[in-house]
Amino acid sequence: MPNAYQQLTHRFQRLSRFAHLGAIAGWDMQAMMPPKGAAARGEALAELRLLRHQLLTEPVVGDWIAEAKTLPLSSSEQANLHEITRQYTLATVLPGNLVEAQSLAGSRCEHAWRTLRASNDWASFEPLLKEVVSLAREEATLRAEATGVSRYDALLNLYEPGMNSAKLDTLFGSVKTWLPDLIQEIMARQARYPLVTPQGPFSTSLQRETGLDVMKVLGFDFEAGRLDISAHPFCGGVPDDVRITTRYSEDDLFSALFGVIHETGHARYEQNLPREWRGQPVAEARSMGIHESQSLFFEMQVGRHPLFLKQLRTLVLQHFPQQPALEEDNFIAWNHRVTPGLIRVDADEVTYPAHVILRYEIERALVEGNIEVGDIPDLWNEKMQASLGLSTQNNYRDGCMQDIHWTDGSFGYFPTYTLGAMYAAQFMATIRQKMDTDEIIHTGDLTPVFNWLNSNIWNKGSLLATDELVKQATGESLNPDHFRQHLITRYL
């Protein structure tokens, strides 16, 4: 008879296979499914989510966990048992009917959002979001009561274990003291050098070919993944079948291209999680902050590096004719522009934290019950004016309706973007101490950099807690000074 630990690994292998099906069906829902399939797909995904919840929360799983803790396990097995226990504890807090209701409400809201955002229709979107928020508050209350933390922190813990709003307030509070002046200083400096605007149209098919070329340079495994189109760029699927998406505009050459670079960072992480532990919780990504660190490492630390931009320009010119905007100096400067804008995913890396902090402050107040859904548009406009000097009055499409995250109740996710930017800067600072990154990027062969990421981040999965992972990789806990210094060095 298998012992209790082996029973657990078998159960989680089954759960992983069901999650695999859900991930591919979820990708299909956003990238391929015809509109009339939405209701039936939402019901199917809700049924699958409920089945996984039932398998995870059966009382026998708790019995196995208790017995497994008495067994002589290796350090890796102990780490896996820790993650099994964490997932079990998180799941048993929620009743099955809430899990199902959240899945159905999220599917309805997300599907409607695709068309309602395009038509700037907040009035029709608001009641759908209210339902999602109501269920998220119910979840947050149950989790908070079980763990003794605030409602928002209980949801934040789902995406970034070990983080809380007190730490975020310190980190983001510091950023808010220096970011506005830095933005103004960089913009004043850049204003002295007028730029030539790229002139479209830029064919979608040629943009796609350019993106595929860049993915090859960045080491994406095309036998274990693919690139498609969706309303909002994302990385989905599973490690052996990673699905990344982008969205194209024939007026903008770079939005989709850097979206592809960003999602390729996510994909490389997924494709290189510890294969020997596949199907177990310890083989999953450590946290969304670490996940975002990889996408932002690719997009910002490497992708916006002047020497990489030179190579990117060469790839672009293989598909698009030369024009003044694509001259080397202008190409690099254009991709280093710091300009406050309305859209988070198109933001430069200097103004990006302002977008994240705005969302963090709103979603925290929303989950805690300090504001209601109807307050979001005016609060969004107020915070955009204060942080970036821009108005979103009556412009819901480019304001509070622009992101997909809240449509399925992913409250607590947004802070991980700026945490990821901080981790990415810290990882690059460490890599620079170990190798000549400028020369490596100049050669076009990024293998040494990827090898470091694989050894220190990707292949660790969830074997270590986030803080321990970062300390082992860099010699210190998260240090936001690396991020600030990166911005100063690159832009000033």
Quick: pLDDT tens for 424-433: 999 999 999 9
Quick: pLDDT tens for 94-118: 999 999 999 999 999 999 999 999 9
Q: Half-sphere exposure (CA, 13 Å, Cβ side) for 97? A: 0
- Position 3 pLDDT exceeds 90: yes
Phi and psi torsions of 188, nearest 5°: -65, -40
- Position 123 pLDDT exceeds 90: yes
Question: Exposed, middle or buried, 249 (CB in 10 Å: 0-12/13-18/19+)?
Answer: middle
Please tell me whether 292 is known to bind a ligand. yes
Question: Exposed, middle or buried, 86 (CB in 10 Å: 0-12/13-18/19+)?
Answer: middle
Quick: pLDDT tens for 235-258: 999 999 999 999 999 999 999 999
CA distances, 30 to each of 40, 139, 152, 345, 478 (Å):
14, 25, 27, 18, 34
| pLDDT at residue 296, rounded to an integer | 97
263 is catalytic: yes
Choosing from 110, 263, 299, 361, the catalytic residue is 263
The β-bridge partners of 226 are 243
Quick: pLDDT tens for 277-311: 999 999 999 999 999 999 999 999 999 999 999 99
What is the mean predicted confidence (pLDDT) over 124-130? 98
What is the mean predicted confidence (pLDDT) over 78-93? 98
> Distance (Å, rounded) from C-alpha 487 to C-alpha 473?
22
> What architecture (CATH level 2) is domain 151-202+209-220+250-492?
Orthogonal Bundle (1.10)
Quick: pLDDT tens for 406-429: 999 999 999 999 999 999 999 999
Q: How far is CA 486 from the centre of its chain?
A: 21
Residue 232 banded pLDDT, cuts 50, 70, 90: confident
What is the mean predicted confidence (pLDDT) over 314-334? 98
Please tell me whether 262 is known to bind a ligand. yes
Quick: pLDDT tens for 437-472: 999 999 999 999 999 999 999 999 999 999 999 999
> Distance (Å, rounded) from C-alpha 226 to C-alpha 212?
9
Mean pLDDT taken over the chain: 97
Q: Which residues contact 63 (CB under 8 A, 6 or more apart)?
A: 4
Please tell me whether 284 is known to bind a ligand. no
CA distances, 196 to each of 237, 329, 333 (Å):
39, 10, 10
What is the mean predicted confidence (pLDDT) over 207-229? 98
Q: Where are the domains of the chain?
A: 4-150, 151-202+209-220+250-492
User: HEC string of 289-354?
Assistant: HHHHHHHHHHHHHHCCCHHHHHHHHHHHHCCCCCCHHHCHHHHHHHCCCCCCCCCHHHCCCCCHHH
Q: How far is CA 35 from the centre of its chain?
A: 26
What is the mean predicted confidence (pLDDT) over 341-364? 97
